[in-house]
């Protein structure tokens, strides 16, 4: 169903105005009432997020497509805007995270304006508003011009957010790497749009949809789009910017970048592949499946080696982008092979995991920000015992850990289960290569899930359990209520999307109808209690029953223990005869992951150092022992560093041009002019 401008677009415009007002209020806070206006900027962000949720939910649930056009800029280049179920879905995702950070941000960001290393808050508010505005406008863009303008706004404002605390060299390095790869990705996306515009006869997406592409040119357009948008999504091997940029940004920005910004890459892949090109091929799906499998497995393995909490979470974003790409790859394989219903299932699994990851990764980054807010520590080996000092934060962070580990009854389980169910339909294919590759990918996904659970046992156990490792951690206290409200909203949604998956899949039906002209009627055929993606005879899952069973098991078990057990006798823990327990006796992050590092040693370049100090007596005695281990990314060492050296070498070789002689410069200009005149003529 299509219509001209309607209420959803008006609601979107209201959200955009609120985003602009948020930035304007932050700018006014430079001179007057900084505290009041700082709070006001987040209030406008709340309204902006709510407007995005309302507009996106409206077109998604009503299965509507609304359009508009503005005469801006050149007279023959109108700005085309459109909201359809796909963009509505991503608007809901973005709006939810914006609402969460609008609750979380006022208290959290005040810390940046205090202390010796204080930073001005207005630039943070202005660039946050521009960052969100770029994503909102990009989602409603209906031509390549508007899309690329606001894609660049998102990327450039993201650069200033990453480099916000610019006094640290690591922040400047991370921001430069982020900006470099963002622009490389944008150039490749432009090539994809260029191919589609050449065959469609214009920059409007409607013209691109109507274009007739040969298989070769369709593959070229897809390859450029996949590489360009995949760079923003953080897929392997284009991921190197992500683990550097996400940890150094303010934590509420890290939640937006990991939860929303990298999903803009997924949006771009889906929009170009399924909508603008339209004729999906199974060969594309095989490439996407292989890269998704590599991203998921390598992402979780790199995460296991981290002791910086935010860097650990950043690597898990690579892992979950890999899982999303696996769902998309399976979808393309089945659609390209003529199994549209199974392809629809893979697409639903990918999109479901997209919003699931936005929720639980946003929650985890906000939780890491709460820990940083009270302890000023990101290193897991400096934490410990925080469950006693910050019990609500610990509980909410645990919800995120369970959800990202794909354990029921939370949302991460549902989308990964749907991905498995798609992969298990491989026998429906006739191609022997595909029937072999898909089970291998499914096995790698199972391994990824097990390693993810181990990683978050490490993250939660070392950060929140045991004894405090530093005095500051031992004195930590719970964060303000606004920060808890932002985390609590995302935690509640993680539970709701895990317990009521049939409702969510039914709401997503307009997206699959738009993109592949099919839906999953069997998934909700048994009512809201049972999710049956293929049929009840093949597989089914009842999340409400699982939740009730878990509550009953814990409730009955606690009741039995309380009534039947003898009174507990409390005494000191067994100390093996070495005296009182201290924080030095606890597992460190490095020690916890050491067995996995030994098993998968070839995945990283590992550098281990042991420094031993001994006294100078006749029989030397060891007085201190220091052990350190560093893991390096092979993609950086084998790919990006050689490219960097080649660029520097080429720059040095052409440095002879800079002679300082005006006559030499005039000669080069004259020769260049002659060459261009020859080309034009």
- Identify the helix (H) or strand (E) that includes residue 629: strand 622-632
Of the CA atoms within 13 Å of residue 621, those in its CB half-sphere come to 2
pTM above 0.85, yes or no: yes
DSSP 183-235: HHHHHHHHHHHHHHHHHHTSSBHHHHHH----HHHHHHHHHHHHHHHHHHHT-
**Among 77, 54, 52, 80, residue whose Cα is nearest residue 68:** 80
The Cα–Cα gap between 260 and 50 comes to: 15
Burial of 577 (0-12, 13-18, 19+ CB in 10 A): exposed
Contact 591, 610 (CB under 8 A): no
Contact 177, 184 (CB under 8 A): no
Mutual angle of helices 85-110 and 481-499, in 10-degree steps: 150
The Cα–Cα gap between 641 and 509 comes to: 45
- The pLDDT assigned to 646 comes to 85
**Among 168, 220, 178, residue whose Cα is nearest residue 196:** 220
User: Which tokens hold the place of 501?
Assistant: 């998956």
The Cα–Cα gap between 135 and 264 comes to: 7
Average pLDDT over residues 98-117: 85
- The pLDDT assigned to 368 comes to 95
Parallel, antiparallel, or unpaired: how do β-strands 79-83 and 2-3 relate?
unpaired
Burial of 660 (0-12, 13-18, 19+ CB in 10 A): exposed
**pLDDT beyond 50 at 1:** no
Parallel, antiparallel, or unpaired: how do β-strands 65-70 and 2-3 relate?
parallel
The larger pLDDT score, comparing residue 588 to residue 228, is at 228
Rg (CA), the chain: 27
Q: What is the mean pLDDT of the chain?
A: 88
Sign of the CA dihedral 550, 553, 554, 556?
positive
- How far apart, in Å, are the Cα atoms of 58 and each of 63, 180, 419, 489, 642? 8, 37, 27, 21, 50
* Helix%, strand%, coil% for the chain, nearest 5: 70, 5, 20
- The pLDDT assigned to 570 comes to 72
Parallel, antiparallel, or unpaired: how do β-strands 605-614 and 65-70 relate?
unpaired
- pLDDT confidence of 620, banded at 50, 70, 90? confident
The Cα–Cα gap between 191 and 224 comes to: 6
pLDDT tens profile 509-537: 999 999 999 888 887 777 778 888 888 88
**pLDDT beyond 70 at 5:** no
Average pLDDT over residues 551-566: 77
Angle value at C-alpha 610, between 621 and 301, nearest 5 degrees: 145
**pLDDT beyond 50 at 3:** no
The secondary structure of residue 577, as a DSSP letter, is: T
pLDDT tens profile 629-681: 777 788 888 888 888 888 888 877 776 667 667 777 788 888 888 888 888 76
**Among 122, 119, 52, residue whose Cα is nearest residue 89:** 52
**pLDDT beyond 90 at 348:** yes
Q: Beta partners for 622?
A: 614
Burial of 301 (0-12, 13-18, 19+ CB in 10 A): buried
Within 10 A of 11 (CB to CB), how many other CB atoms are there?
22
The larger pLDDT score, comparing residue 660 to residue 608, is at 608
- The pLDDT assigned to 578 comes to 64
The Cα–Cα gap between 439 and 330 comes to: 11
468 phi and psi, to 5 degrees?
-60, 140
Q: What is the dihedral of CA 258, 262, 263, 267, to 10 degrees?
A: 170
User: In which order are the strands placed within the sheet that holds 65-70?
Assistant: 2-3, 65-70, 79-83
- pLDDT confidence of 553, banded at 50, 70, 90? confident
The Cα–Cα gap between 172 and 149 comes to: 24
User: Which tokens hold the place of 288?
Assistant: 């996407």
- pLDDT confidence of 116, banded at 50, 70, 90? low
**pLDDT beyond 70 at 567:** no
Within 10 A of 143 (CB to CB), how many other CB atoms are there?
23
- The pLDDT assigned to 543 comes to 85
Q: Where are the domains of the chain?
A: 608-614+622-681
Q: ω before 119 within 30° of 0 (cis)?
A: no
pLDDT tens profile 589-599: 888 888 888 88
The Cα–Cα gap between 615 and 621 comes to: 6
Mutual angle of helices 340-375 and 509-516, in 10-degree steps: 130
First to last CA, the chain: 50
- pLDDT confidence of 332, banded at 50, 70, 90? very high
Least confident of 57-66, 175-184, 208-217, 467-476: 467-476
pLDDT tens profile 220-231: 999 999 999 999
pLDDT tens profile 139-161: 999 999 999 999 999 999 999 99
User: Which tokens hold the place of 240?
Assistant: 């190197």
- The pLDDT assigned to 630 comes to 77
The Cα–Cα gap between 304 and 306 comes to: 6
User: Which tokens hold the place of 368?
Assistant: 């890491």
User: Which tokens hold the place of 176?
Assistant: 């430069």
Contact 90, 50 (CB under 8 A): no
- The pLDDT assigned to 2 comes to 42
With b meaning 16 or more CB within 10 Å and e meaning fewer, what string describes 596-613?
Answer: bbeebeebbeeeeeeeee
- The pLDDT assigned to 168 comes to 83
**pLDDT beyond 90 at 400:** yes
Parallel, antiparallel, or unpaired: how do β-strands 79-83 and 65-70 relate?
antiparallel
The Cα–Cα gap between 153 and 19 comes to: 14
**pLDDT beyond 90 at 311:** yes
Average pLDDT over residues 329-349: 94
Within 10 A of 266 (CB to CB), how many other CB atoms are there?
25
Q: What is the dihedral of CA 282, 284, 288, 291, to 10 degrees?
A: 120
The Cα–Cα gap between 157 and 243 comes to: 18
């Amino acid at each position: 169903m299509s219509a001209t401008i309607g209420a959803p677009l008006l609601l979107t415009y209201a959200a955009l105005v609120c985003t602009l007002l948020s930035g304007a209020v932050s700018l006014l806070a430079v001179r007057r009432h900084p505290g009041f206006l700082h709070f006001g900027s987040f209030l406008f962000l709340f309204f902006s997020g709510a407007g995005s949720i309302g507009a996106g939910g409206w077109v998604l649930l009503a299965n509507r497509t609304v359009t508009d056009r503005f005469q801006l800029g050149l007279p023959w280049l109108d700005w085309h805007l459109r909201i359809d179920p796909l963009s509505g879905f991503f608007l809901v995702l973005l709006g939810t995270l914006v609402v969460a950070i609008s609750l979380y941000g006022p208290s959290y960001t005040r810390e940046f304006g205090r202390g010796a290393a204080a930073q001005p808050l207005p630039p943070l508010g202005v660039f946050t508003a521009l960052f969100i505005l770029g994503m909102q406008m990009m989602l409603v863009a209906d031509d390549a011009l508007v899309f690329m303008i606001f894609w660049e706004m998102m990327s450039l404002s993201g650069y200033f957010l990453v480099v916000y605390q610019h006094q640290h060299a690591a922040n400047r390095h991370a921001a430069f790497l982020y900006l470099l790869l963002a622009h490389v990705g944008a150039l490749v996306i432009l090539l994809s749009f260029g191919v589609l515009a050449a065959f469609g006869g214009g920059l409007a997406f409607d013209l691109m949809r109507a274009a007739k592409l040969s298989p070769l040119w369709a593959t070229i357009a897809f390859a450029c789009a996949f590489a360009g948008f995949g760079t923003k999504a953080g897929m392997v091997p284009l991921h190197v910017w992500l683990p550097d940029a996400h940890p150094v940004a303010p934590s509420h920005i890290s939640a937006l970048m990991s939860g929303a910004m990298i999903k803009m890459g997924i949006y771009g892949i889906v929009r170009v592949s399924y909508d603008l090109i339209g004729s999906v091929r199974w060969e594309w799906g095989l490439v996407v499946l292989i890269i998704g499998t590599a991203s998921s497995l390598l992402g979780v393995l790199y995460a296991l080696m981290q002791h910086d909490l935010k860097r650990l979470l950043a690597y898990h974003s690579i892992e979950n982008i890999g899982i999303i790409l696996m769902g998309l790859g399976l979808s393309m394989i089945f659609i390209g092979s003529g199994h549209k219903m199974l392809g629809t299932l893979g697409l639903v699994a990918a999109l479901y995991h997209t919003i699931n990851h936005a929720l639980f990764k946003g929650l985890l980054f906000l939780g890491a920000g709460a820990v940083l807010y009270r302890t000023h520590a990101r290193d897991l080996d400096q934490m410990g015992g925080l469950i006693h000092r910050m019990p609500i934060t610990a509980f909410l962070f645990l919800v995120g850990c369970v959800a990202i580990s794909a354990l029921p009854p939370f949302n991460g389980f549902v989308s990964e289960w749907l991905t498995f169910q798609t992969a298990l339909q491989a026998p429906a294919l006739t191609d022997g290569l595909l029937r072999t590759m898909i089970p291998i990918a499914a096995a790698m996904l199972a391994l990824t899930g097990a390693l993810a659970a181990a990683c978050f046992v490490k993250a939660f156990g070392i950060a929140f359990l045991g004894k405090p490792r530093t005095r500051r951690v031992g004195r930590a206290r719970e964060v303000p209520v606004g920060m808890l409200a932002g985390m609590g909203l995302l935690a509640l949604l993680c539970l709701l999307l895990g317990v009521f998956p049939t409702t969510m899949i039914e709401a997503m039906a307009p997206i699959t109808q738009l993109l592949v002209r099919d839906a999953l009627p069997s998934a909700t055929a048994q009512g809201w209690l049972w999710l049956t993606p293929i049929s009840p005879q093949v597989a089914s899952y009842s999340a409400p029953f699982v939740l009730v069973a878990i509550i009953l098991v814990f409730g009955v078990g606690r009741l039995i223990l309380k009534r039947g057990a003898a009174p507990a006798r409390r005494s000191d823990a067994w100390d093996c005869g070495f005296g009182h327990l201290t924080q030095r006796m606890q597992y460190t992050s490095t020690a916890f992951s050491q067995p996995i590092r030994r098993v998968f040693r070839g995945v990283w370049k590992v550098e281990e150092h042991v420094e031993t100090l001994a006294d100078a007596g006749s029989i030397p005695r060891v007085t201190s022992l220091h052990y350190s281990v560093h893991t390096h990314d092979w993609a950086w060492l084998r790919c990006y560093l050689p490219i960097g050296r080649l660029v520097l070498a080429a720059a040095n070789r052409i440095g002879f041009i800079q002679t300082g002689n005006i006559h030499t410069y005039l000669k080069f200009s004259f020769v260049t002019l002659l060459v261009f005149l020859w080309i034009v003529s």
